[in-house]
Structure 1
Amino acid sequence: MKRFVNLISLAFLSWGLLYVPDSQASVTSPLDGVNAFSTATDDITDLPDSPQAQRAAAKQLTIPSSSPIPLEGYRWPSRQITVYMATQDHQVQVAFPVAVKKWNQTKAVHLHWIKSRQRAEVIVTDGDLQTTGNSNVGYVTSQLGSTETQFNPDTHAMIRAKSTLDAAKLRYVNRQYRDHVAEHELGHALGLAHAPEDYQSVMIPRNIRRGISKLDRQALRNLYGLN
């Protein structure tokens, strides 16, 4: 068995934003102040020969002990990161390139598109994400986006990430908000965690009212060793 398979490698599932529309009348969301994302772990055994896995096993990466925005605890071994578009939904196809451009403008990383899904480090797509509801109190909550990442816990190196937007639910929001959701999910794919609700950050877990902020840029540059 190859060396990488022997490593204890985990997959981290980070649920993104919540959109809370009224299903009957104007109500306050009972999810206000509640942790709005979940995590899951799993062994990685299907990527022993991939370039991503080889880089992840190569050397231990430094993660800053403090940051303007919370960090997930891992990052990509290289600042050059490949992205593959795996959706035919037009709105998602528009939102993710905007998000890629915005994160590239931080100059902390360079995300670039490739045509091979197998060789891509980040896959962006659309999907039907979880919805929960309670007709008795008149609210429905829907996940608008999620990001799943695979990483090596020994080296803190990211191996692969997949960011998903729920295209059907995002049709109820304007284009700018949709772009911010894509920025939020790619933030997770780059190694940023959720920010507290009172921060000026695209990484707050719900009700985003702005895009990538100065704090987000500083955190990403710190994570990739530029400050």
Structure 2
Amino acid sequence: MGLFVSQIGGIVASAATTTPFGAQRFAKDHATYVITTKSDYYKSIWRSAIDAWNATGAFKFKTSSASKAQITLGIASKRESKKMGNDVGLTEFWARDNYFVSVNSLLNARLIKEYDYSRSDAIHVAEHELGHAMGLAHNPSTKSVMYYRNRAVGIQKVDINGVKARYQTPAGQTN
């Protein structure tokens, strides 16, 4: 089993025409999820991000019970928020033989409020974290939802192409 942690932050290189992806992925281009936050606002943020990705046709997120969900979506606790530092989003995954076993994505509600993120900004961060949940890496282009410091750009064609390429490429291989 491997662990991958992605936070919004880090160094990037030159622009890509297809958003890069890592070696890990789900077995198929769909996965089940559960939203664990009790906040109606953050539930709506996650649902809007899921709806946006589902509308692309590149990947399908399906709701599930907590015990059967492959992806858990929530907001960081006070302890997790402190650990995240200045990162507004975090995705961790566990994989076996380059296939995701489980994925956990969090939004840092404290920073979203502190930095006065609009609803649209928060949705873009959730879209970004869902990109990691599908296997996407950071895109060096500021015109990608997968740009490492993104809050203003939604899902773009380059990101959709990255998801499609990720699920047409065998697990263990990257682009």
Q: How does 1:56-75 map to 2 (within 5 A)?
A: 68-75=18-25
Contact 1:131–1:143 (Cα < 8 Å) also in 2: no
Question: Is 1:91 aligned to residue 83 of structure 2?
Answer: no
| 1:91 and 1:167 in contact (8 A); partners too | no
Q: After TM superposition, which residue ranges in structure 1, 4 or more long, deviate above 4 angstroms?
A: none
The structure with the largest alpha-carbon Rg is: 1
**RCO higher in 1 or 2 (8 Å CA, sep ≥ 6)?**
2
Tell me how far 1:88 sits from its aligned partner.
0.8
RMSD: 2.2
What is the match of residue 172 of structure 2?
Answer: none
TM-score, normalised by the number of residues in structure 2 = 0.84
Question: Structure 2: how far apart are the matches of 1:76 and 1:182?
Answer: 19
The match for 2:58 is 108
Fraction of identical pairs, as percent: 29
Segment drifting more, 123-132 vs 156-165: 123-132
- Cα distance change, pair 76–131 in 1 and its aligned pair in 2 (3 A): closer
Whole-angstrom CA distance in 2 between matches of 1:87 and 1:219: 29
Partner of 2:168, secondary structure, is: coil
Write the distance in 1 (CA, Å) between the matches of 2:121 and 2:148. 13
Instruction: Return the alpha-carbon distance in structure 2 between the equivalents of residues 167 and 191 of structure 1.
Output: 23
Count of aligned pairs between the two proteins: 161
Distance of aligned partners of 1:130 and 1:203 in 2 relative to their CA distance in 1, 3 Å threshold: farther
Work out the CA distance in 1 between the residues paired with 2:72 and 2:31. 11
Provide, for residues 114-145 of structure 1, a one-character-per-residue CA deviation record: whole Å limited to 9, x for no partner. Answer: 1x21210000011142479xxxxxxxx72111
- Indicate the residue corresponding to 1:12 in structure 2: 4
Report the structure, 1 or 2, having the larger helix content.
2
* Structure 1 residues without counterparts, runs of 5 or longer: 1-8, 18-33, 37-65, 133-140
**TM-score between the two structures when normalised by the length of structure 1:** 0.65
What do the CA deviations read for 1:141-191 (whole angstroms, capped 9, x no partner)? 721110001112x3x211110000011221221000000000000100110
Cα contact 2:3–2:92 (8 A) shared by 1: yes
Counterpart residue type for residue 217 of structure 1: I
- Where 1:181 maps in the other structure, the secondary structure is helix
Give the aligned residue type for 1:161. V
